[in-house]
Structure formats: C-alpha cells, structure tokens
Amino acid sequence: MLKDEEIAVLCDIQQSIAFAEDKQGQIAKLIIDGYVLKDGDIYELTPKGEKILEDRGAGLNDG
C-alpha cells in the first residue's frame, strides 16, 4: 500500500507540479513499482498510477 507522501507525489506528477530533490527516493520507488514513467526530464503516471488516484478520489480539482 502506498503512503500518503507517495500519493501526494503522484498528485504532483499528475498536475505537472515540480517537486523538491528530497522526493527523488519516493519517485524512484514509484517508478520501480510501476506507478510512474520517466521520459527524459518528464515524469508521467502509468495507468496503474492513474488508477490509484482515481480509486482514492485524489488528483485534479475542478475548482
């Protein structure tokens, strides 16, 4: 199960928000676990990562 901090990183990636260097360990774990893809300098959610946010009701706000 993902920690709240990892869910927050997924939300940041989904919203294209830059994150601090101290998040690199969490991002590496999310890549290894199949939640995130890295293409050059760009991070993207995989379908697995998107599903986690969808299931938890997290992600982009409509407001």
pLDDT in tens, 37-52: 999 889 999 999 999 9
Residues of the chain with pLDDT below 70 are 58-63
Whether the pTM exceeds 0.85: the reply is: no
Helix or strand run (H / E) with residue 30 = helix 24-32
Tokens representing 37 are 């893809």
Spatial distance between the Cα atoms of 21 and 54, rounded to a whole number of angstroms: 26
What token pair was written down for 55?
């299931």
Contact 26/5 with Cβ under 8 angstroms?
yes
